[in-house]
Amino acid sequence: MSYKFSEKMDHLKPSVIREILKYSSDPAVIPFSAGNPAPEAFPVEKVQAISANILAKEPIAALQYSITEGYPKLIEAVTNDLKNRLHIGADTDRVIITSGAQQGIDLTVKSFCSKGDVIICESPSFVGSLNAFKASEATLVGVPMDEDGMNMEQLEDALKANPTAKLIYTIPNFQNPSGITMSMEKRRKMYQLAKQYGVCIIEDNPYGDLRFAGEDVPAIKTLDEDGIVIYCGSFSKVLSPGLRVGFVCANADIIQKITVLKQTNDVHTNILAQMVAYHFMTECDFVGHLENLRKIYKHKAELMLSEMDKHFSKNVTWTIPQGGLFLWCTLPEDQDMLAFCQDAVKNHKVAVVPGNAFMTSDDVPTTSFRMNYSTPTDEQIIAGVKILGDLMK
């Protein structure tokens, strides 16, 4: 039979990350391509104890249907944490719990965008979000990154050229894939431009709690006096990605639209997972847990960077992240980056992600690739960086 799929599927391609991760299933492959939290970062025993306690004392609440907006106690805990620790949330804002930040981004785009509507985003940007935008048949306009975030002059040019643009998408902290953090000056400028041109901002911040160097920079959402910033957060990088618990904080009118869409999507996020997240936040030393994660990733990042200094070719450049899980490595312009990445994984068993996976369209050239330091062991980091360095030379 010849299947007649939706035209929307024409815009979607298999994730390059997922395709390369297939090679990572080979235990011999060094996984610089992944984006998984470090195995030692998981609070396994605490999650086991919390889960057992929930199923012993509140089994029906954990196994029954619940409300779309989320487990009320978790909503309250997230709301309070955002206000008290991050200074996020106005009286007109509400929080909805989502199945990971990815769902929050997807539902937000569906709430705002019709076919052909423009979304302005960083170039490069997170491939999962780019695919969500394409699935909604939005038109993507990429704006290049500077060392301190999206280029604001080119952002304004894009807004002028696309007066009906609906959204600006940004990952301001330790961006995926570049590892870059947006400066406070640029955060203020982005907010000012969004307000001036009548566009909302999706502020995607899954890595913000993983800062291990430099000073904290307030979220764009802290500037939001006009209800135009949609803040997406997640427990994936600070507790467990397998739980699939994320959240969106935005103006109540926006949350109402997201809620209706979520009812047609998955009814509600896994309640047992939400309860685990709530008890972990309120009964364990959540701040102390975050501090431990920062120590883990600080060590791994510094190890990778020091090995790159030793082994990488001098005409290769890379970003130096202050947090998060990734850094961005750039080969000279005359090099075939894709061939380099394929050679590394197929013939030398080191997997990195080609930079074209993160571009807004196939015709945007790049000689960069993404490296991850959270997933591999110390021994794999040392061995894998040397292998890549030898290939470069």
CB count, 10 Å around CB of 184? Answer: 16
Please report, as a single letter, which amino acid is at residue 256: Q
- Give yes or no for a contact between 220 and 201, defined as CB atoms under 8 angstroms apart: yes
pLDDT band at 19 (very low <50, low <70, confident <90, very high): low
Percentage of the chain modeled with pLDDT above 70: 95
| Residue whose C-alpha is closest to residue 166's, from 201, 131, 193 | 201
Q: Where are the alpha helices (DSSP H) in the chain?
A: 16-24, 44-57, 59-63, 72-86, 100-112, 127-135, 152-161, 184-197, 252-265, 271-283, 286-311, 337-348, 378-392
pLDDT at 1 over 60: yes
pLDDT band at 385 (very low <50, low <70, confident <90, very high): very high
Strand-pair partners of 246? 98, 234
| Neighbour-count burial for 77-105, b at 16+ CB within 10 Å, e otherwise | bbbebbeeebebbbeebbbbbbbbbbbbb
pLDDT at 314 over 90: yes
So what's the pLDDT on residue 102?
A: 95
So what's the pLDDT on residue 173?
A: 98
So what's the pLDDT on residue 62?
A: 96
Separation CA 140–CA 231 (nearest Å): 20
Beta-carbon contacts of residue 186 (< 8 Å; ≥ 6 apart): 148, 149, 150, 152
So what's the pLDDT on residue 4?
A: 72
* Distance from the first to the final alpha carbon of the chain: 51
- Token digits of residue 271: 């309640």
- The string of pLDDT tens digits covering residues 342-370 is 999 999 999 999 999 999 987 888 999 99
Count of residues in the chain = 393
So what's the pLDDT on residue 277?
A: 98
- The string of pLDDT tens digits covering residues 196-242 is 999 999 999 999 999 999 999 999 999 999 999 999 999 999 999 99
pLDDT at 266 over 90: yes
pLDDT at 20 over 70: no
So what's the pLDDT on residue 364?
A: 83
So what's the pLDDT on residue 16?
A: 57
What domains are defined for the chain? 7-43+288-392 (3.90.1150.10), 45-283 (3.40.640.10)
| Residue whose C-alpha is closest to residue 234's, from 76, 124, 103 | 103
pLDDT at 11 over 90: no
Lateral strand order in the sheet of 167-170: 93-98, 246-251, 229-234, 200-204, 167-170, 118-123, 139-146, 149-150
Mean pLDDT of 301-319: 97
So what's the pLDDT on residue 365?
A: 87
Tokens 């102390």 belong to: 288
pLDDT at 12 over 80: no
So what's the pLDDT on residue 17?
A: 54
- The string of pLDDT tens digits covering residues 48-87 is 999 999 999 999 999 999 999 999 999 999 999 999 999 9
| Residue whose C-alpha is closest to residue 155's, from 105, 61, 220 | 220
Separation CA 30–CA 32 (nearest Å): 6
| Residue whose C-alpha is closest to residue 261's, from 92, 98, 130 | 98
Reported pTM: 0.94
So what's the pLDDT on residue 361?
A: 84
So what's the pLDDT on residue 121?
A: 97
